[in-house]
Amino acid sequence: MIKRAYKERFYPTPEQAALLVQSFGCVRFVWNNTLAYRTEAYQQRGETVSHTAAEKRLAALKAEYPWLKDVSSVILQQTLRDQKAAFDNFFNSTLNARYPRFKRKNSRQSIRLTKAAFRYRDGEITIAKTTTPLPIRWSRPLPSEPSSITISRDRAGRYFISCLCEFTPDVLPVTPRMTGIDLGLSDLFVTSEGMKSGNPRHLKRYEAKLAYLQRRLAKKQKGSKNRAKARNKVARLHAKVADCRRDAIHKATRTLVNENQVLCVESLNIAGMVKNRSLAKAISDAGWGEFMRQLEYKADWAGRQLVKVGQWFPSSKRCHGCGHKVEKLPLSRRHWHCECCGLAIDRDINAARNIRTAGLAGIACGAIGAGAVA
């Protein structure tokens, strides 16, 4: 049994929305106040505030600010646990995480509740401090009773609930198909069989409308209701672009996992590649990081094998027919002929085939994993 989060949208009543807004504010206050206290203690006195000390200090905060008692105490304790996890990630050198940042009122808001703060009965969820269930638009039944839930509101004002449940993944039947996958910008991905997915370029599709809405937002007076309405329109368009991108990646990764037993991909340094000013927007719009994340966990659940080839492997420069490697191959050169065997080569398909060959060779040698094949 493994755990999986099921995310659904819901439409709170005015009373529920008021309680959630108050809960978001209390969580944000406790996070920011504790983070400032920890930062000040280290910078001025060289002291490190432990999680136990932060929890004891929470009682003093409730005494000083009585309105913190109007919301469930569980969500305040959970935000301290989340901050502890953020500091643990920061001090873990292998994760390369940033120092925890202060929460903003206009950004995404969320609270986490354990079983002590909500009730799940007959497919309905009721949170603490309320008497009516949340009006959730269920798209599918939950496989088990959730162990915890996370309620969030994005910048577009939409409310979501994420239920963490235990489930048993369905292992797909074994198939003889094995493929190599090359990520790109002209096409989101190209397989070793020659299939090109195309690139929908979701941000570019709405870029003109987004620029228009942002110009209108810039002209509104700060603090006015019209500015808040204009900001909401920009946020809703950004949410639409993100939803379109996520949906397309889900469909693509599901198809690849269903059809192939072994998937060979290249482990790209996406964080370093987006520093290229000429390609940063296109790479971010393609969603390579999300593509790799979904492909990895879906392959694991389905019993498929995902092999990552090292990023320095010359997949584009090497001829898949004879193995000859060219010295220079500019990005603008999409087709070329091998100097040794004379084979006409499509750059992307050639890279996918070389990635497949290298990945299968890594399996044969027992070197499976990120950067296993140099």
Enzyme catalytic residues: 182, 266, 348
| β-pairing verdict for 178-183 and 124-127 | unpaired
| β-pairing verdict for 305-309 and 262-266 | parallel
The answer to whether 344 and 335 are in contact (CB under 8 A) is: yes
- Rounded CA separation 120/39 (Å): 39
The three-state secondary structure class of 357 is helix
| Token couple for 18 | 């008021």
- Rounded CA separation 189/196 (Å): 6
The answer to whether 134 and 128 are in contact (CB under 8 A) is: no
Q: Which residues, listed in sequence order, are joined to residue 308 by a DSSP beta bridge?
A: 265
Query: Quick one: DSSP state of residue 220?
Result: S
Residue 110 dihedral angles phi and psi, to the nearest 5° = -155, 155
| H/E stretch holding 122 | none
Angle at 88 between CA 87 and CA 90, to 5 degrees: 60
Residue 330 dihedral angles phi and psi, to the nearest 5° = -60, 155
Encode burial over 297-317: b for 16+ CB neighbours within 10 A, e otherwise.
ebbebbebebbbbbbebebbb
